Copies of this chain bind each other. A is one copy, B any other.
């Protein structure tokens, strides 16, 4: 049986508008009336028709999460469930609904539909490439948008990111302080900003410790475990062989550990490994993985909150205000794979966890 506002109004003995006010938490309603209306609403399990709502109110209370990557890459990566969880939690809290949107036929039709048909109020874009045409086109349409990560090409987007550079640099400096000097890195795909940032952090870390970088010590993977194994195999063939590796994701680090083991090397005695993420198998790896923790769920939560904030505050189409850039801190989680236990520098006792000095940073574009 189909319920409408009108019907509820009739049953509660008030006007349609009053019911509308009640279900929209408008303060201008008499408490008694409000109570009575709620009663009827509950009793009939009434839910307002979204289509009508969206049409009249010009908003749908749906936001989309779009990950412009191949489906199998998305599903293989333990990063995304956490991101989704965080975003969904924020949406829940604010009465929004999160839909995962596919962009399969790369960008084209789907994209237009997504935007022009106004099926959702805004978009969370995760894991975009450094040069992402999809992103560019969304911006051209002035569609409300928050980017998870950052995009050097577009300073005017609101972004929520973790401090990749600092996190990576911390990891490398830690390795150097543990006494390693031939420090290599396994990066993510070099068309992704997060991968580039972590590589940049790696380079800065080396520099800070007065170590010279070498091209042969940088091998790229694609975030997958298998690519970590392969990159590690390549590194082990380099002369002189690295004695430590900073790996840009835990997934790849686990793969790298396998390669080291297969080559008959002990970790961390022969070669140290530090990962990035602190998810999945980091803690239970053999040996337990020292890694840079990033708060992925918080990232999702903040991204969604920020988008919603923006949607609700924006005077209509005025989306192009000063973009916010939120950066979350990373922290180094020290376990066994970095040789901490092996060479316990006296002053490291209190450093089991080294928080980034960053904290949450707000800045204007």
Residues of A in contact with B (beta carbons under 8 Å apart): 3, 45-55, 60, 62, 71-72, 74-78, 80-81, 84-85, 88-89, 92, 97-102, 104-105, 110, 112-113, 115-119
Contacts and interface: CB of A to CB of B under 8 A. Distances in A.
B80 A105 contact: no
A104 B92 contact: yes
A84 B55 contact: no
14 contacts: A45-B112, A47-B116, A50-B51, A50-B117, A51-B55, A54-B54, A55-B55, A71-B85, A75-B80, A75-B81, A97-B110, A97-B113, A99-B100, A100-B102
A49 B118 contact: yes
A49 B53 CA distance: 13
Contact of A99 (B47, B74, B101): B101
A118 B75 contact: no
Contacts of A89: 104
The 7 closest A-B pairs by CB, nearest first: A47-B116, A51-B54, A100-B100, A51-B55, A50-B117, A71-B81, A75-B81
A118 B71 contact: no
Given A49-B117, A100-B102, 8 more contacts: A45-B116, A49-B55, A50-B51, A51-B54, A51-B60, A55-B55, A75-B75, A100-B100
Contacts of A49: 55, 117-118
Nearest to A99: B99
The residue in A45, A104, A105 that gathers the most chain B C-beta atoms within 10 A of its C-beta is: A104
Given A46-B116, A51-B51, A78 B72 contact: yes
A241 B77 CA distance: 36
A62 B60 CA distance: 14
B50 A52 contact: no
Given A75-B78, A97-B113, A118 B88 contact: no
Given A100-B102, A102-B100, A118 B84 contact: no
Given A50-B118, A55-B55, A98 B102 contact: yes
A81 B72 contact: yes
A113 B116 CA distance: 24
Given A45-B112, A51-B51, A102 B88 contact: yes
The residue in A51, A62, A101 that gathers the most chain B C-beta atoms within 10 A of its C-beta is: A51
A202 B335 CA distance: 44
Contacts of A99: 99-102
The residue in A71, A72, A97, A117 that gathers the most chain B C-beta atoms within 10 A of its C-beta is: A117
